[in-house]
């Protein structure tokens, strides 16, 4: 009887990754990096929009605070149904935010339009209470115009019959 050795499978020689595996891995990595880049761009845009909304809110709050210091007669002169530019001394209807340049100087980053609308509360004299609304408008890239509105009431303290 012959001595028969069981046959063993030949040793596989591992040479590394195949070209197909490398291409697939690079494709997956590239897709992931592209997704991260797109997310970063979207985050930057949303951050800018949030900053613009905060700047509009600050401009509106400033105007509302000033409304409580203007004379009652100025409010009376603004009573009407339409939005109009701010009409008291020192009021700014166009507000710009500026950014400092590294080499010096500044650039306008964004522009806002501030308007107000005043209406009497009650129709019979004496008019002792007025509603005041302040609206801030601005434009965002790739979106329709944006608005931010604040409202307050102003009472005529010390007014005749109030």
SS3 114: strand
Lowest mean pLDDT among 13-17, 19-23, 110-114: 13-17
Mean pLDDT of 37-61: 91
Does position 26 have pLDDT exceeding 70, yes or no? yes
Candidates 86, 83, 80, 54; CA nearest to 67 is 86
Residue 103 DSSP one-character state: T
pTM above the 0.75 mark? Answer: no
Does position 3 have pLDDT exceeding 80, yes or no? no
Mean pLDDT of 36-64: 91
Q: Determine the length of the chain.
A: 162
Residue 159, class by beta-carbon neighbours within 10 Å (0-12 exposed, 13-18 middle, 19+ buried)?
Answer: exposed
Kindly report whether the peptide bond that precedes residue 94 is cis, defined as omega within 30 degrees of 0: no
Residue ranges of the domains in the chain? 19-155
Ranges assigned E (strand) in 51-145: 84-85, 94-100, 106-120, 129-138
The CA–CA distances, whole Å, from 112 to 50, 57, 96, 116, 130 equal: 14, 10, 6, 13, 25
Only one residue has tokens 């613009």, namely 52
Q: What is the pLDDT of residue 13?
A: 64
């Amino acid at each position: 009887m012959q001595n028969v050795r069981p046959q063993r499978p030949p040793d596989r020689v591992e040479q590394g990754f195949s070209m197909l595996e490398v291409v697939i891995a690079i494709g997956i990595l590239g897709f992931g990096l592209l997704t991260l880049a797109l997310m970063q761009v979207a985050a930057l845009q949303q951050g800018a929009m949030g900053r613009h909304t905060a700047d509009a809110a600050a401009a509106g709050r400033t105007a509302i605070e000033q409304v409580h210091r203007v004379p009652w007669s100025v409010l009376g002169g603004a009573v009407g149904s339409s939005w109009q530019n701010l009409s008291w001394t020192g009021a700014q209807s166009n507000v710009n935010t500026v950014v400092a340049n590294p080499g010096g100087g500044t650039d306008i980053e964004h522009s806002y339009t501030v308007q107000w609308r005043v209406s009497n509360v009650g129709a019979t004299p004496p008019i002792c209470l007025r509603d005041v609304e302040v609206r801030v408008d601005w434009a965002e890239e790739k979106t329709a115009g944006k608005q931010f509105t604040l409202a307050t009431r102003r009472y005529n303290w010390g007014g005749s019959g109030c």
